[in-house]
C-alpha cells in the first residue's frame, strides 16, 4: 500500500530468479510436534481448468514475498504488528461466535500467526499455517494449538479437497491476483459444512494517503500515478463469495483509524508491516518535492487539531459456509401457513408467529 | 547489505524529514490550504497552481536542513 519513495531497499538486490512458477511450493517445517503426521498434500491445483475470467495479474507476488520476508526479520518488527493483531483478534472473535469445535483449521497468509494465540484447544484442535514468506513462518508466535507451517501461495493451496473444517484468513487477501479463484480454492479444501472466515483491507483503506499523493503529484508534476494498491469494494465481495458457491454469507465492514504524526511515519509503518505496494503498475520513484507537498496536503486536509494525521483502514470481514444438507434452506414457494393479511390481527407479541 | 551504501544513506536523510517539516508548519499549512482550495473551488488543479506557496515551503525546508547538519 505504501510508496517506496527514494528507498529502493527492496528492489532486486541480486536475489533469486524473479520467475514466478505456477507449481505450489510446499515445504513443511514442523513447529510443534503434533502427533501422527497426516498427509495433506494432494495433487497440485495449478493445472486445474481456469475458472471465471482470465487470469488477472495485478500484483507482483514475488515482490510481495520479498517484502514480507524483509519485514519479518526486522529488528524491532513487533512495533508494526498492531494492525494485524487487531484484525487477528477480531477474526478470532468471529471464530468463537460459532458454537463449534474444529478439528483441523487452516490459516491462509497468516504470517506470524495473529489468530491462533486467541484460540484455545477446545475450539481448534490442529492448525495449518501457510504464508508466502518463509521468514514470517519461522519467526511466528507461539500458541497452545499444535501448528504445522507450510510455505505456500494462497492462489495454489497444496491441499486435498474436503480436508479442513475451518479456513481463516486475516489481512492477506488484498494482495491476491485472482480473488475468485482463491475463493473457489478455499471452497474446495473445505469439508462440507465447513466455514471460511476472512478479513481483508478493502474499499476506502488509506484513502487519505491516496488523495494526498494524488493532489500533490498533480500540482507538482502535472499528472499522477497510482501509489496505493487497488482494493475490493464491499459490494463486490458478496458477489464473489456467491460465485464461489458459499452459503449463508455474512459481510461486514470495520473502520480502523490509526493516528500518525505525519505521512512519513505512516509510510514507514506500512513498510514495516510488509504492506508496501507491489502492484505491477506502481512507479518506483517518488520525487522528493512531491513527498514534501503530499506531507503538507495530508496535514492540511485531514489533520487533527492536535497535529496528528489519521489513516483509515477499512477492514472487510466475510463469513461463508460450504453447502451441506443440514444447513437451513429458504422455504419452498407456496409453503406459507400464515398470511401477511393476518398481520393486523396480531395484538399481542406472544400470539401467532408471523411468517 | 551491511555497511554504508547509497540506500542506507538516503534512508538516514529521509528519517530527518518529519523534524524538518515540523519547523516549517506555517508554510506547509499555507500550501496545503492552496491545494485544498482547488478541490472545492472553481479552479482546476493543474501543474504549478500553487507554485509560489510551494517555493516558500521548499526554501524553509532546505534552510532547516542546512541548519541542522553538523
Total Cβ atoms within 10 A of residue A314: 20
Assess if residue A338 is contained within a domain: no
Assess if residue A345 is contained within a domain: no
Assess if residue A349 is contained within a domain: no
Domain count, chain A: 1
Q: What are the C-alpha distances in Å from B51 to residues A67, A222, A290?
A: 36, 12, 12
User: Contact A219/B28, CB-based, under 8 Å?
Assistant: no
Decide if pLDDT at A44 tops 60. no
Residues of B with CB under 8 A from a CB of A: 1, 7, 10-11, 14, 17-18, 21, 27-29, 31-33, 35-36, 38-39, 45-50, 54, 57-58, 61
DSSP code per residue over A135-202? HHHHTPPP-SS-EEEEE--TTS--B-SS-EEEEEEES-GGG-S-HHHHHHHHHHHEEEEEEEEEEEEB
Assess if residue A108 is contained within a domain: yes
- For B42, the grid coordinates are 472553481
On average, the pLDDT of chain A sits at: 81
Asked if A136 and A111 count as a contact pair (C-beta separation under 8 A), the reply is yes
Nearest to A292 among B11, B39, B61 (CB): B61
**A289: which chain B residues are within 8 Å (Cβ-Cβ)?**
54, 58
Decide if pLDDT at A53 tops 60. no
pTM beyond 0.90: the answer is no
Q: What is the pLDDT of residue A7?
A: 33
Nearest to B17 among A264, A297, A299 (CB): A264
Decide if pLDDT at A59 tops 70. yes
Q: Which domain holds residue A144?
A: 58-204+231-258+312-326
CA–CA distance, A185 with A224 (Å, rounded to integer)? 36
Q: Which residue has the cell 506557496?
A: B53
Assess if residue A78 is contained within a domain: yes
Residues 6+ apart with CB under 8 A from A68: A111, A131, A132, A133, A135, A136, A274
Higher pLDDT pick, A186 / A142: A186
**B28: which chain A residues are within 8 Å (Cβ-Cβ)?**
295-296, 299-300
Question: What is the nearest CA distance from A278 to chain B, expressed in angstroms?
Answer: 19
CATH number of the domain bearing residue A254: 3.40.50.150
User: Contact A297/B35, CB-based, under 8 Å?
Assistant: yes
User: Contact A300/B28, CB-based, under 8 Å?
Assistant: yes
Question: What is the nearest CA distance from A221 to chain B, expressed in angstroms?
Answer: 6
CA–CA distance, A61 with A38 (Å, rounded to integer)? 29
Decide if pLDDT at A39 tops 50. no
- For A181, the grid coordinates are 479463484
Which residue ranges in chain B fall short of pLDDT 50? 70
Q: What is the pLDDT of residue B3?
A: 76
Question: What is the nearest CA distance from A266 to chain B, expressed in angstroms?
Answer: 11
Assess if residue A241 is contained within a domain: yes
Higher pLDDT pick, A168 / A29: A168
- For A194, the grid coordinates are 465447513
Assess if residue A298 is contained within a domain: no
Nearest to A292 among B10, B47, B57 (CB): B57
**Mind listing the pLDDT tens digit for each residue in A116-131?**
889 988 899 999 999 9
Suggest the residue from B23, B28, B41 to mutate for an interface test with chain A (most A CBs closer than 10 A): B28
**B52: which chain A residues are within 8 Å (Cβ-Cβ)?**
none
Q: What is the pLDDT of residue A349?
A: 60
- Judged on CB neighbours under 10 Å (0-12, 13-18, 19+), B41 is exposed
Residues 6+ apart with CB under 8 A from A65: A132, A133
Task: Give the mean model confidence (pLDDT) for residues A170-174.
Answer: 91
| ipTM (interface predicted TM) | 0.90
**Mind listing the pLDDT tens digit for each residue in B19-35?**
888 898 999 999 999 99
**B54: which chain A residues are within 8 Å (Cβ-Cβ)?**
219-220, 289, 292-293
Question: What is the nearest CA distance from B11 to chain A, expressed in angstroms?
Answer: 6
User: Contact B57/A296, CB-based, under 8 Å?
Assistant: yes
Nearest to B45 among A218, A265, A301 (CB): A218
User: Contact B36/A299, CB-based, under 8 Å?
Assistant: no
**DSSP alpha helices (H): ranges in chain A?**
61-72, 82-97, 134-138, 179-189, 207-221, 234-243, 263-272, 288-302
CA–CA distance, A292 with B16 (Å, rounded to integer)? 12
Assess if residue A240 is contained within a domain: yes
Residues of A with CB under 8 A from a CB of B: 5-9, 13, 215-216, 218-222, 261-262, 264-265, 289, 291-293, 295-301
CA–CA distance, A3 with A273 (Å, rounded to integer)? 13
Amino acid at each position: 500500500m505504501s510508496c517506496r519513495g527514494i528507498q529502493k531497499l527492496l528492489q532486486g538486490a541480486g536475489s533469486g530468479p524473479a520467475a514466478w512458477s505456477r507449481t505450489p511450493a510446499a515445504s513443511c517445517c514442523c513447529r510443534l510436534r503434533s502427533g501422527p503426521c497426516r498427509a495433506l498434500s494432494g495433487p497440485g491445483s495449478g493445472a486445474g481448468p481456469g475458472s471465471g475470467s482470465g487470469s488477472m495479474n495485478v500484483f507482483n507476488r514475488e515482490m510481495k514475498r520479498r517484502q514480507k520476508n524483509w519485514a519479518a526479520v526486522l529488528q524491532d518488527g513487533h512495533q508494526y504488528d498492531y494492525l494485524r493483531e487487531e484484525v487477528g483478534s477480531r477474526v478470532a472473535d468471529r471464530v468463537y461466535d460459532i458454537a463449534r469445535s474444529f478439528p483441523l483449521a487452516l490459516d491462509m497468509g497468516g504470517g506470524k500467526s495473529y489468530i491462533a494465540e486467541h484460540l484455545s484447544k477446545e475450539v481448534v484442535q490442529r492448525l495449518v499455517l501457510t504464508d508466502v514468506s518463509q521468514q514470517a513462518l519461522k519467526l511466528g508466535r507461539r500458541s497452545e494449538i499444535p501448528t504445522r507451517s507450510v510455505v505456500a501461495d494462497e492462489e495454489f493451496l497444496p491441499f486435498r479437497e474436503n480436508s479442513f473444517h475451518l479456513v481463516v484468513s486475516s489481512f492477506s487477501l488484498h494482495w491476491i491476483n485472482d480473488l475468485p479463484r482463491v475463493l473457489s480454492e478455499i471452497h474446495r479444501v473445505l469439508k462440507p459444512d465447513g466455514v471460511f472466515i476472512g478479513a481483508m483491507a478493502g474499499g476506502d483503506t488509506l484513502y487519505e494517503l491516496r488523495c494526498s499523493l494524488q493532489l500533490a503529484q498533480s500540482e507538482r508534476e502535472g499528472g499522477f500515478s497510482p501509489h496505493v494498491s487497488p482494493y475490493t469494494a464491499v459490494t463486490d465481495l458478496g458477489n464473489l463469495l456467491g460465485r464461489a458457491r458459499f452459503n449463508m454469507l455474512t459481510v461486514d465492514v470495520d473502520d480502523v483509524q490509526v493516528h500518525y504524526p505525519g505521512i512519513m511515519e505512516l509510510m514507514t509503518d506500512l513498510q514495516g508491516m510488509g504492506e508496501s505496494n507491489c502492484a505491477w503498475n506502481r512507479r518506483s520513484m517518488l520525487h522528493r518535492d512531491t513527498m514534501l507537498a503530499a506531507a503538507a496536503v495530508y496535514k492540511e486536509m485531514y489533520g487533527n487539531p492536535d497535529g496528528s494525521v489519521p489513516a483509515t483502514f477499512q477492514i472487510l470481514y466475510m463469513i461463508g459456509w460450504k453447502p451441506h444438507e443440514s444447513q437451513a434452506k429458504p422455504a419452498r414457494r407456496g409453503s406459507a401457513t400464515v398470511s401477511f393479511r393476518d398481520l393486523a390481527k396480531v395484538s399481542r407479541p406472544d400470539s401467532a408467529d408471523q411468517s | 547489505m551491511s555497511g554504508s551504501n547509497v540506500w542506507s544513506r538516503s534512508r538516514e536523510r529521509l528519517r530527518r524529514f518529519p523534524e524538518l517539516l515540523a519547523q516549517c508548519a506555517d508554510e506547509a499549512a499555507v500550501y496545503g490550504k492552496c491545494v485544498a482550495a482547488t478541490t472545492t473551488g472553481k479552479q482546476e488543479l493543474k501543474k504549478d497552481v500553487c507554485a509560489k506557496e510551494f517555493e516558500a515551503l521548499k526554501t524553509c525546508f532546505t534552510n532547516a536542513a542546512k541548519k541542522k547538519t553538523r
